[in-house]
Structure 1
Amino acid sequence: MKIMFMTLRDRVERFTDFSNLSKDWEYVFAGYEKDTAKLLEMGGDADAILADAITPVPKELIEAMPNLKIIHSEGVGYEGINLAAADEKHIYVCNNRGANKTAVAEQAVMLMLMVLRHAVTGHNRVLEGRQIEAKASWSMEGISELGSMHVGIIGMGDIGIETAKLLNAFGCRVSYNKRYPLSPSQEKEYNVTYMSVDDILKNCDIVSLHIPSNKETFEYMNEERFAMMKKGSILINTARGEVVKNEALLEALKSGQIAAAGLDVLAPEPVKEDNIVVKAMKNDGELAEKIVLAPHIGGLTVQTFDKIYGTIWSNFKKVCAGETPVNIVNHP
């Protein structure tokens, strides 16, 4: 079996014990190369591809690889993989659903706390010698505890459920929305109540996004939905940057429609200095204090990668043996 890695080599080697794998297997490390011709030259005869969750695996590449049997996302996302082309060639596409649920849920709650406690701005104030000024200002303005918040979770999959569990420990009221509501017993177990998206936006103090990135959710949070949000509420996004329209987010923050945003993700990736949100924050100090950014590291814990690579190598072994892998996301 020959495997082409379209991801960071150091990460693969750190979380893989190659001594437990077949000595007959061959490995090609393509990194983040996107040129189809170069990829085919390096590993056109590969049986398997492991791709970073945001790395594109286009139709042209899939169609030109005669031995390809499985494409595995390194993460949960797989929007960069051309599913139609994989279906046509009866190639499995798999992901690591649920592996990062605890890590991303922690990131979501961390961003909520950082926004509520002015963590980044407070850090900077202390460095600037303005500790007393910051303390006096926020003691008069008022800081809210997370437990006092009504949190709305849009997208109640594995990560959404894990986030709800953590929020319960703080004493939050938690509402959720998903295409198919949970059963009454599940709602009782997770201490959550179902709400329409509109009602979550209108009533919740914090809205946390946990939806996939696809054609239906592209710029899901747009001008219309920001206008529906409760005045002075907070947006948290640990899903994908593409589900938020950057221009609409900035306008909602500048106008005061929403008070703040905590973002682990920002589109497009990789985020450059000319990103509209980054530029706006650099040019507007007041706006910068309303946004907390993280470099899309919600799921990048050691524990997550241990789970991820356990699933990846198990699936590759299954396919090599002619068996069906787990976490299939297409229709091969």
Structure 2
Amino acid sequence: MKVLVIGKEDRYLKYMPDKDIAKNAELIICPIGTSDEVLIEKGKEAEYLIVDAIGSVSKKVIEHLPKLKLIHSEGVGYNGIDIQTAKEKGVFVCNNKGINAGAVAEQTILLMLGLLRDVVTGDQKVREGLQIQTKEKAMVEGITELADCKIGLVGFGDIAKATAKRLTPFECELYYWNRTRQSKEIEEEYGVSYLELDELVKECDFISLHVAVTEETTEIINKEFLKKMKKSAYVINTARGELVDNVAMREALINGEIKGAGFDTVHPEPTQKDNPLVALPEEVAHKVIFSPHIGGITRSTFYRAHLNIWSNIELVENNKRPNYIVNGL
């Protein structure tokens, strides 16, 4: 059994599960960015294809791999896979739905706490020998506890639910907006209240993004959105960089329209130092905390993801339906 892999070889070997089907498979590994022609040549006998969540599988590749049965995203995202062509060819496309929800939720809360406690500045000042001066300044200016905040979750999928669950012990007020309102039972289970998006934006101290990138949500955080927010509020983005209009966000930070932001992802990736959100003026740079898109890449996440991938391959090999099919097959 041949498996074409588009991604990093060391990662696939490290997280390969202790399953016979994985041990006995012949892996054909190509880096992200490999041309369609090379993928077709090397993978022409492949029955399964595993692709990095930010990788792509084109119509041409799918049409020229005649033995292909399953395309599996290594993560949750599958934007780069031509799911319609796969459906037409009878090829399953699957992802690892919810596999990194807890990990990303942790990163979301880390950014919230980091902003409230100004951890980046605090670390810097202690290293500069200004510990007591910084402490005295903070006592005068005041530090807000997470318990005193209203949290607004934009979207209410797996990651937002995991975030709500982990925020409950902090005793903050939890609100959400979603295209489809959840049932009363779900709202009670996660301790959340529904608000229309406009109201949520105006009322909450944190706006935390948990939606997929679609035509509707691309740059949902734009000039109009930011102007509706409280000047004391923050934006958290652990979802996708494309959800934020970088120029509008930069202007809002410079003009004091919002208090700050925490970003685990900034568009485009790889994020460069001249990005409008990275190259902020020195006097406002402290308003933003960045992390290098690591929210969902914990060790446990990868072990769970790769176990699910090979379990799905085993299901298909045994003429059974795999889990988390995303192309409606």
The aligned residue for residue 36 of structure 1 is: 36
More divergent stretch after superposition (239-248 vs 134-143): 134-143
How many percent identity over aligned positions? Answer: 43
SS at match of 1:286: coil
Following superposition, the deviation at residue 136 of structure 1 comes to 2.2
2:121 corresponds to which residue? 121
Higher mean displacement: 14-23 or 42-51: 14-23
Tell me, yes or no, if the aligned pair for 2:4 and 2:49 is still in contact at 8 Å. Answer: yes
The amino acid of 1:175's aligned partner reads Y
Measure the CA separation in 2 of the matches of 1:291 and 1:41: 46
Deviation at 1:103, TM superposition (A): 0.6
| Pairing 1:313-332 to 2, within 5 Å after superposition | 313-332=310-329
- Cα distance, 1:24–1:162 mapped onto 2, change above 3 Å: closer
Note if contact 2:17-2:303 (Cα within 8 Å) is conserved in structure 1. Answer: no
3-state secondary structure, aligned to 2:273: coil
Q: CA RMSD in A?
A: 1.5
Is 1:307 the counterpart of 2:310? The answer is no
Check the 8 A contact 2:17/2:307 in 1, yes or no.
no
Distance, in Å, in 2 between the alignment partners of 1:229 and 1:197 is: 11
2:215 pairs with 1:218: no
Residue 24 of structure 1, CA deviation: 5.1
Structure 1, unaligned stretches of length 5 or more?
Answer: none
Matched, 1:270 2:267: no
1:291 partnered with 2:288: yes
- Give TM-score, length-normalised by structure 1: 0.95
Secondary structure of 1:179's match? coil
CA distance in 1, matches of 2:70, 2:231: 47
Contact 1:79 1:214 survives alignment (8 Å): no
* Distance in 2 separating the partners of 1:211 and 1:274: 26
CA distance 1:186–1:17, change in 2 (3 Å): closer
Distance 1:46 1:294 in 2: 37
Deviates more, 1:171-180 or 1:129-138: 129-138
CA displacement at 1:275 relative to structure 2: 2.3
Q: Structure 1: how far apart are the matches of 2:174 and 2:154?
A: 11
Partner of 2:236 in structure 1? 236
TM superposition shift of 1:140: 1.4
CA distance in 2, matches of 1:10, 1:119: 34
Structure 1 contact 33–39 (Cα < 8 Å) conserved: no
- Distance in 1, Cα, partners of 2:49 & 2:64: 13
> Which one is further off, 192-201 or 35-44?
35-44
The correspondence of residues 245-284 of structure 1 with structure 2, limited to 5 A, is 245-278=245-278, 280-281=279-280, 284=281
1:1-332 → structure 2 map (5 Å cutoff):
1-17=1-17, 20-21=20-21, 25-278=25-278, 280-281=279-280, 284-332=281-329
Structure 2 CA distance for aligned equivalents of residues 54 and 285 of structure 1: 32
What CA distance in whole angstroms lies between the structure 2 residues aligned with 1:64 and 1:220? 37
Deviation track 1:48-104 (CA, whole Å, cap 9, x = no partner) reads 111111112222222222222211111111111122221221211111111111111
- The C-alpha deviation readout for 1:111-136, integer Å capped at 9, x for no partner, is 00001111111111222222223222
Q: Matched residues in 2 for 1:24 and 1:261: separation?
A: 47
2:261, 2:99 → 1: CA distance?
26
After superposition, the C-alpha distances for 1:174-213 in whole angstroms (9 at most, x for unaligned) are: 0001122111122112111001111110100001100011
Letter in 1 for 2:254: K
Say which SS state the counterpart of residue 110 (structure 1) adopts: helix
The answer as to whether partners of 1:34 and 1:56 remain within 8 angstroms in 2 is no
Distance 1:23 1:53, change over 3 A: closer
Give the SS at the match of 1:96: coil
Separation of aligned partners in 2, 1:55 and 1:272: 20
Task: Could you tell me which runs of 5 or more consecutive residues in structure 2 were left unpaired when the two chains were aligned.
Answer: none
What is the Cα deviation at residue 12 of structure 1?
Answer: 1.1
Q: CA deviation at 1:288?
A: 1.4
Quote how far apart the aligned CAs of 1:322 are: 1.9
1:148-183 deviation digits (Å, cap 9, x = unpaired): 100000111111111111111100000001122111
Give 2:311's aligned amino acid.
S
Runs of 4+ in 1 over 3 A off after TM superposition: none
Q: 1:319 to 1:107 in 2, by over 3 A?
A: same
Change over 3 Å in CA distance of 1:163–1:67 after alignment to 2? same
Q: How many residues align?
A: 329
Aligned-partner Cα distance in 1 for 2:22–2:178: 42
